[in-house]
Amino acid sequence: MKFFFPLTACAVLLFGCSNMNKTTSIQPPSAEKIPHVMEDHGHIRTDNYYWMRDDKRQDKKVIAYLNAENEYKDSQFKAYEPLQKSLFKELTNRLDKDESSVPYLWHGQWYYQRYQTGSEYPIIARKNSLDSHEVILLDVNERADGNDFYGLGELSVSPNGQLLAFTEDTLSRRIYTVIIKNLKNNQYLQDRIEGIDGNIVWANDNQHIFYIAKDPQTLLGFQVFRHKLGTMQAEDVLVFEEKDDTFYLELDKTLDESLITLSHDSTITSEISILDANQPLSTFTPMLPRKEGHEYTFKKLKDTFYILTNWQAKNYRLMKVPASQANNQEAWQEVIAHDNNVLIEDYLVLEDYLVIQTRENGLNHIHIFPFNEQPAFELSFDDAAYVASLDANSQQASNKLRVSYSSPNTPESIFEYTLSSANDEALTTTRLLLKQENILGGFKTSAYKTERLFITARDGEQVPVTLVYRKDKFNKDGKNPLYQYGYGAYGYTIEPHFKSSIISLLDRGFVYATAHVRGSDMLGRAWYDEGRMLNKQNSFNDFIDITQTLTDRGYADKNKVVASGGSAGGLLMGAVLNQAPERYFAVASHVPFVDVVTTMQDESIPLTTNEYDEWGNPSNPAYYEYMLSYSPYDQIKAQNYPHLLVTTGLHDSQVQYFEPAKWVAKLREYKTDDNLLLFETDMEAGHGGKSGRYRRYQDTAKEYAFFLGLLDFDK
């Protein structure tokens, strides 16, 4: 149940908004200060806004404060509302109203999803052949109807094709419910499984489903259950429980569908357990016992396992071993050797070909290794910066390879290659473009240019940055506004991919920069290690140094730099704001992780324990002091800050709403400028923001209107 409370006179006094009345403009809320003292390692911190934490999200005082901030944001944003509405229309008008995915073949049926004009959610369908009658499996719009938020998790068709299991979240807390549909009569089964993480796998008997249950407090998926159709959830059998709360769990199936796999993953350690998909009543058995620091995955071809491992290989190497000897590392044979300059990111094992996706000098490469005597070859891509990855390849006995490709100025394209020749020229002639994202509104790739630069950071490291701009609006004369985006955590790489939304910035003369700061895998695993734990400051330095270099080189006006980041990227924004506020005109920080020390000390907060290998454990004095040195909430000081838009969701399961709420309250207390500080809590959403194909652009339009309005762009 959701609680909303009007701002009564009493509530207004709580926040010190004594000037709030019909004849004067609304003043920003001034939150009550209630000291909460914390002492660790002989160091005392006082958190005056700790009271804003309410795990049940029902406290009247907290809800009233969030509503007060929303009301203030709305009052200050009124001047930008026409621009926001115009931008929303502009953003959504570029979408192909009847967009559909490329069908893929599985068990003799072609599966795809499509949209109908004006619909927020897709229709999931299949056909016996590409030119046969469509059978609708699920109209997601019907499931979403009546919900303020709707998130579709996984969909899984039973091996016999007669049942559809899917997971859904109607709260935006990433806690899912399993629904099962009989595809023969279009009726829903009475089976209902609640409180799971959204991950489901069918056994081959079409009668059992495996799923992962979440701890309701920490939201960690920690128990694997087996459910038999026709029974109550209370009768489900616990088949595995993860005792180490620093590990995530994930269920999957091998490509040949003979094994169900259970992956146990922490930040730097992994383990895989296996169960025979034809024997669902058996138990999961570890393929190889976990060892701290060892990360691996495997794929199966007949009786051989191909194992991607960082064992004596920081950037990974590929090994193979008979399945019966998989637990004996001494029996593993090297297939692809380790390379300090090449990160192996992904791979696919077909009957006749081994496909390896690598990242070299920050760019994706796809290599083909035939199992016969033909030489290996590589697929070619032309853009200065791009992302290429393996797409849906569901048939192991196939010589067809699907690849997804895009660049900042090239819409997403799905190519199908016929792997029948080692001759690049011949291979190019067999490449088929199955589909390219259709961008409406007269978009032309040739009107835009992508650049890839390496910026020298203050410690001498070369940091990659991807730029895109509209050619006829860029002269490299230091007059363009700059939009800079960054993330830099968990080894997650922000790819130089196509985003139709940024056309609205490029067409107004913006240079759009993606800063590939340390903390990602952009330049290999060492690049990740240099941006985590006791090296986290590198991420912030990289972002700031990129800003300075781009303005120094004439790519942008130093007085017109805006920046944006979300979640761990919101941490990046928070640290940058404290350390170099003068570099930025305005910043948007979405669902930001900003109270680093307090969150990492509290194991009851969702996902905290999984993060120790990313940020460190503050029970260790060295990590405590280091976190404290950059934690955005703790390092707020009396100084001028840029214009700032902060957003969160009341039901956020990743970064709890009270982190940004406290951060904003403390910024209001300390900042010495008159710049805008706007804070919005979406009372219906969680970490991912609004749901729906069109509704999600409301948030983008809001951010763009904030930046463009401040920079005096009137349309």
Residues involved in catalysis: 567, 652, 687
Is 45 within 8 Å of 38 (Cβ atoms)? yes
Burial of 234 (0-12, 13-18, 19+ CB in 10 A): exposed
Residue with tokens 């790739």, as numbered in its chain? 445
The angle subtended at Cα 706 by Cα 704 and Cα 710, nearest 5°, is 115
What is the 3-state secondary structure of 194-229?
EEEEEEEEECCCCCEEEEEEECCCCCCEEEEEEEEC
The angle subtended at Cα 341 by Cα 338 and Cα 345, nearest 5°, is 65
What are the φ/ψ torsions at residue 294 (nearest 5 degrees)?
Answer: -95, 120
Residue 86, amino acid: S
**What does DSSP say about strands 482-486 and 561-566: parallel, antiparallel, or unpaired?**
parallel
The Cα–Cα gap between 250 and 380 comes to 33
Radius of gyration of the chain (CA): 26
Give the three-class secondary structure for 580: coil
How far lies 410's CA from each of 435, 468, 498, 704, in Å? 12, 11, 6, 22
Tell me the angle at which helices 60-77 and 658-670 cross, rounded to the nearest 10 degrees: 60
The Cα–Cα gap between 125 and 127 comes to 7
The Cα–Cα gap between 540 and 517 comes to 8
Residue 339, amino acid: D
Two structure tokens written together for 675: 């710049």
Residue 71, amino acid: E
**What does DSSP say about strands 285-286 and 296-301: parallel, antiparallel, or unpaired?**
unpaired
Non-local (6+) Cβ contacts of 282 within 8 A are 275, 276
The Cα–Cα gap between 373 and 622 comes to 55
The Cα–Cα gap between 60 and 3 comes to 8
Two structure tokens written together for 518: 């340390």
Non-local (6+) Cβ contacts of 711 within 8 A are 481, 560, 562, 585, 586
Is 458 within 8 Å of 545 (Cβ atoms)? yes
The Cα–Cα gap between 677 and 671 comes to 10
The Cα–Cα gap between 708 and 560 comes to 10
The Cα–Cα gap between 9 and 132 comes to 65
Is 96 within 8 Å of 81 (Cβ atoms)? no
Tell me the angle at which helices 81-93 and 696-710 cross, rounded to the nearest 10 degrees: 130
Is 545 within 8 Å of 524 (Cβ atoms)? no
**DSSP at 501:** G
CA 150 from chain center: how many Å?
Answer: 18
CA 505 from chain center: how many Å?
Answer: 22
